[in-house]
Every structure is written in C-alpha cells, then in structure tokens.
C-alpha cells in the first residue's frame, strides 16, 4: 500500500453515514474510493453539485458536468445542482460536515498554509479559505514530508489559509490532532515508530505513553 | 420585454477596450466560448476580467489571456493556467486573488443593492490587508465590498425571446449571480426557444436582467 492509499483509507474512517463532504483536489479526492460499503455519504463539488461519482463511462462524458478539479464526473440519482453563491453558502454556512484538504504547511497551533509559495507558485486559494472558515470539520490529508522537509513546523513560513485550527491531520506516518496544548500524536501507521514520526515532524509533538496503531479499514 | 438576437461579432463590438467584464464559467465549463472567440477576433485590449479562474490556455478565459486581450484579472484561482502565472511574474498582467465564496458574495452584493458583505473567510490572512474587520457576537468578519462590471458575458442552456434563462448541471456556477451585477448583460445560450417553452418555475435568471441574446451560430 503506498503513502497516498494509507492516507485515503485512514481519512475514510472519519466518514459517517449521512454526512455532506467536500474533498479537495488531488490526494483528498482518493478518499472517495474508500467510502465503506453501505454507507451513504453525499459529496459536494464546490463548482455546483451535490451527489456525484467517479468518471462516467468512456464516451459518455457531458461537457457541463465536471468536478472542481476539471475532471468529468457522473451525477448520481438524487443529485442537486446549484450556482456558486449557493455552493459557498453551503460551505460557509456550516452545512458541510467535513472538508478534506491538502496542505503545504501546518504549524504547532494547527494553522494551515495551502495556497501559495511566495515567488514560486501562486495558484490562488480557490475555495480553500471558505472551506476552512466554514466546514464543521477540516481534515488535512497530506504526505508527512515534502522534498525531505517536514510539513508540520513550529510556525508557518508560508501565508496562512485561515486562522482557524484544523480538526485532524492524517499522513502516511501518523494521525495528529491539534489541541490547545499543541499537536497531539493520536496514531502511528503500521510498522512506523514514534521516533520516526518525531524525526519527520518539525513541530513539537505531544506523545502519549502508548500510541495505538492506525486502523486502515473498518472492523 | 421581447428581444431580438444579435450576431456574436456585433456583441463583441459592444465591449470596448479597457472595459470591466464578468465572464461566467468554472475551468471553462459554463463560459460563453463564442463570445470569447469574437472578442479575440476583434482584437480586444486591456480588458479587466472578473470570473472564477483563467481556465486553461486554450479554453475559456484562457484564450483571452493567450491573445493578449487582458490587463487584469480578479479571480479565485490561476493554478490551471501557466500563461497567467508567467504573465503575472513578468508584471504583464495584474492578478487579484479573491476567495471563491467571497467573489460570489461580492458580485451578489453588487447585484442586490447591498453595501457589501461580512464574511469570516480570509480573516487573519493576506486577503484581510487594507480591509476593515468587525466583531459581531464575538466572531470576526471582513467587510467585503460589492463587485460590479460594465459587462457580464454569460452562457446559459436555454434562453427564450424575453431572455429568461435556464442552466445545466455545473455550467451554472457564476452565471446566475453575474446576471445581476453588470450594466450590460450579454447571454450566449445553447438553445433559443419561443416564449412559454421554459416553465416559470424553471427560469433561473429572469429575462429582465438580460440586455442582449447572441443568436445561433450560422
């Protein structure tokens, strides 16, 4: 199992029946593959749809039906389409139960930077600032380290996406929860030691006496 | 009121160089592609484009960027268009990045006669620079001002002769809200249908907001 699959499988365990969920572009999108069978989760795409599934059959794409990453999707029975103002009313208004987003950096207080690297890369924030401001839970799905550098750091060196603390951070090494006291280690991935996690983390970690192993599928 | 269809070339002539132009669409889906091509063909210059993104170099708003028609964009995202990023780095285009939900609400505010909106989005970030923050019941909000344009170029699914509009699936996006926020609203529908074909409950943009309907391609 590669790093991305470990992350996607673990994030999927946060899903609950009946949730409205927004998956960000890239790694977070993989979470949709691991929705437990029999669970009903509504997916929102912020360009204006609730209720979609993986790509339509080859040749059956509709030019007016894409997800927020620009990929063709298929609408499910019961889907609803709406304009951008309505879509972001859903997001800011607290109607989205869970947003899963990627990250460039997270600091010791659980603040997220995800939308620009000054002088190098400025894609823009798109809907990320609204999602972090408004979703009930914000879960970060990211690789623990980027180009040898820890992504969790004492303080952000990149522009923040919001001042709100994210709810949970899931990487291929660990599950970490930002708390009032700092970043608390909750779980370690199978075969990964606490020392490995601490060595790959640039912020102080609150380590429990025993760190349970990360579950990767529902019992 | 009944409108007559105008040719897409004539519509492009209405938009002068230097105009502020809203263009509907999300990564090109729901963008008025024929109007965009006509603006490129007439050699429009120094436009300010307000929309969600700059799509891709060969799609939607990206084609205006590629053709050198644009001096400034006010958008939420440019990550899919390397040309926009290159021109921004070279100082050849002004880019104002606006959170997507804030962009929608600023346009809605302009079109609904509001003095602005209060949003928690962007508090404590660079988006808050030079903006007033106010506290309501213990929570902080940015004051975001209305965003208007001279023109709104929209794509709809159906238009009837009065300009009543429907949209399809994810092609609605910013189109309905932009219909309220420009002095001149030009719509490029997939289909033009006689009055009465669109049931009143299905109309998503009332025809009174539409200035011109682009006629079918000949």
CA dihedral B130, B135, B140, B144 (to 10 degrees): -40
- A187 is an active site residue: no
Most distant CA pair in chain B, distance: 59
Are A47 and B29 an interchain contact pair (Cβ–Cβ within 8 Å)?
Answer: yes
Reply yes or no on whether the pLDDT at B79 is more than 80: yes
pLDDT in tens, B173-214: 999 999 999 999 999 999 999 999 999 999 999 999 999 999
The pLDDT value given to residue A73? 93
Q: Looking at chain B from residue 78 to 117, which residues have their Cβ under 8 Å from any Cβ of chain A? A: 78-80, 85, 88, 95, 97, 99-105, 107-108
Separation between Cα atoms, residue B144 and residue B68, nearest integer Å: 30
The active-site residue out of A46, A154, A187, A209 is: A46
B155 located within any domain:
yes
Residue A79 corresponds to which tokens in the numbers above? 């889907």
Q: Do A133 and B104 touch (CB under 8 A)?
A: no
By CB atoms closer than 10 A (0-12, 13-18, 19+), residue B4 is exposed
Binding-face residues of B in 55-74 toward A, CB within 8 A: none
Please indicate, yes or no, if residue B126 is contained in any of the structural domains: no
Residues on chain A touching B176 (C-beta within 8 angstroms): 83, 85
Are A49 and B169 an interchain contact pair (Cβ–Cβ within 8 Å)? yes
Domain ranges (residues) in chain A: 3-206
Q: Provide CB contacts within 8 A for A154, sequence distance 6+.
A: A107, A108, A202, A203, A204
DSSP string over B170-201: GG-TTHHHHTTSEEEEEEEEEEEE-TTSS-GG
Give the confidence band of B217 by pLDDT, cuts at 50, 70, 90. Answer: confident
**SS3 state at A28:** helix
Residue B124: inside a domain: no
Task: Tell if the CB–CB gap between A47 and B104 is shorter than 8 Å.
Answer: no
SS3 letters for B123-154?
Answer: CCCHHHCCCCEEEECCEEEEEECCCCEEEEEE
| Residue B171 placed within a domain | yes
What is the Cα–Cα distance from B119 to B133, expressed in whole angstroms?
Answer: 9
Helices (H), B27-181: 33-42, 61-66, 82-89, 100-111, 175-178
Neighbouring CB atoms inside 10 A of B141's CB total: 17
Residues of B in contact with A163 (CB under 8 A): 123-125
pLDDT of residue A26: 87
Model pLDDT, residue A219? 53
Q: Which CATH number is correct for A3-206, 3.40.1080.10, 3.40.50.720, 3.40.640.10, 1.20.200.10?
A: 3.40.1080.10
State the pLDDT at residue A218.
65
* Pairs from A8-12 (Cβ < 8 Å, separation ≥ 24): A8/A33, A8/A34, A8/A141, A9/A34, A9/A216, A9/A217, A10/A170, A10/A175, A10/A187, A10/A214, A10/A215, A10/A216, A11/A100, A11/A139, A11/A141, A11/A170, A12/A36
On whether the CB atoms of residues A88 and A46 are closer than 8 A, the answer is yes
Structural domain includes residue B63: yes
A48 in contact with B, Cβ within 8 Å: yes
Q: Nearest CA to CA, how far is A216 from chain B (Å)?
A: 32
Instruction: Tally the domains of chain B.
Output: 1
- Identify whether B99 is part of a domain: yes
Scan for tokens 């059956």, then name that residue: A60
- What is chain B's mean pLDDT, rounded? 97
Report the pLDDT averaged over residues B59-77: 98
Q: Is the pLDDT of residue B4 over 60?
A: yes
Whole-number Å distance between alpha carbons of A12 and A29: 11
Looking at beta carbons, which residues of chain A come within 8 Å of B173? 47-48, 83-84
Residue B91, domain extent: 5-115+146-214
- What does the pLDDT look like over B83-114, one tens digit per residue? 999 999 999 999 999 999 999 999 999 999 99
Residue pLDDT tens, chain A, 219 long? 899 999 999 999 999 999 999 999 889 999 999 998 899 999 999 999 999 887 899 999 999 999 999 999 999 999 999 999 999 999 999 999 999 999 999 999 999 999 999 988 889 999 999 999 999 999 999 999 999 999 999 999 999 999 999 999 999 999 999 999 999 999 999 999 999 999 999 999 999 999 999 998 765
Residue B129 covered by a domain? no
The dihedral of CA A157, A158, A164, A168: what is its sign?
A: negative
A91, A92, A123 ranked by CB distance to B77: nearest:
A123
Q: Which residue, B100, B109, B23, is CA-closest to B63? A: B23
pLDDT at position B175 is 98
Q: Residue A82: which of A56, A93, B143 has the closest Cα?
A: A93
pLDDT over 60 at B157, yes or no: yes
Give the predicted TM-score (pTM) of the model.
0.96
Query: Which chain A residues are Cβ-neighbours of B80 within 8 angstroms?
Result: 70
pLDDT digits (tens, 9 = 90+) for B25-58: 999 999 999 999 999 999 999 999 999 999 999 9
Q: Which of B103, B113, B102, B114 is nearest to B142 (CA)?
A: B102
Q: What is the CATH number of the domain that holds B153?
A: 3.40.1080.10
Please report, to the nearest 10 degrees, the dihedral formed by the alpha carbons of residues A131, A137, A140, A141 taken in order: -100
């Amino acid at each position: 199992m590669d790093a991305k699959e470990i992350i996607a499988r673990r994030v999927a365990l946060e899903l609950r029946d009946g949730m409205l969920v927004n998956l960000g572009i890239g790694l977070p999108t993989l979470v949709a593959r691991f929705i437990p069978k029999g669970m009903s989760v509504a997916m929102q795409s912020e360009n204006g749809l609730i209720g979609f599934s993986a790509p339509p059959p080859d040749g059956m794409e509709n030019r007016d039906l894409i997800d927020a990453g620009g990929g063709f999707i298929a609408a499910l029975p019961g889907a609803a389409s709406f304009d951008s103002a309505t879509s972001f009313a859903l997001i800011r208004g607290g109607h989205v139960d869970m947003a899963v987003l990627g990250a460039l950096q997270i600091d010791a207080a659980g603040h997220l930077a995800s939308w620009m690297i000054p002088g190098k890369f400025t894609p823009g924030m798109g809907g990320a600032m609204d999602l972090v401001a408004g979703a009930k839970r914000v879960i970060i799905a990211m690789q623990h380290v980027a180009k040898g550098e820890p992504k969790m750091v004492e303080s952000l060196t990149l522009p923040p996406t919001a001042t709100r603390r994210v709810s949970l951070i899931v990487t291929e090494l660990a599950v970490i929860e930002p708390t009032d006291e700092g970043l608390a280690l909750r779980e370690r991935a199978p075969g990964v030691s606490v020392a490995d996690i601490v060595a790959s983390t640039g912020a102080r970690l609150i380590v429990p006496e025993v760190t349970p192993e990360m579950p990767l599928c529902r019992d | 009121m009944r409108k007559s269809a105008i040719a897409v070339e004539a519509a492009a002539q209405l938009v002068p160089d230097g105009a502020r132009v809203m263009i509907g669409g999300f990564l090109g889906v729901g963008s008025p592609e024929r109007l965009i091509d006509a603006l490129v063909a007439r050699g429009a210059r120094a436009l300010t484009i307000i929309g969600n993104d700059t799509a891709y170099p060969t799609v939607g708003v990206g084609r205006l960027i590629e053709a050198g028609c644009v001096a400034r964009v006010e958008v939420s995202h440019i990550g899919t268009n390397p040309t926009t990023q290159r021109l921004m780095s070279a100082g050849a285009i002004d880019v104002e990045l606006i959170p997507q939900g804030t962009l929608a609400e600023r346009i809605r505010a302009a079109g609904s006669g509001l003095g602005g909106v209060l949003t928690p989005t962007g508090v404590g970030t660079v988006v808050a620079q030079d903006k007033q923050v106010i506290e309501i019941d213990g929570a902080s909000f940015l004051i975001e001002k209305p965003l208007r344009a001279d023109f709104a170029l929209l794509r709809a699914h159906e238009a009837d002769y009065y300009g009543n509009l429907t949209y399809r699936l994810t092609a609605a996006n910013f189109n309905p809200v932009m219909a309220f926020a420009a002095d001149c609203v030009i719509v490029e529908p997939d289909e033009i249908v006689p009055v009465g074909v669109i049931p009143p409950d299905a109309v998503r943009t009332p025809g009174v907001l539409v200035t011109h309907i682009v006629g079918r391609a000949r």
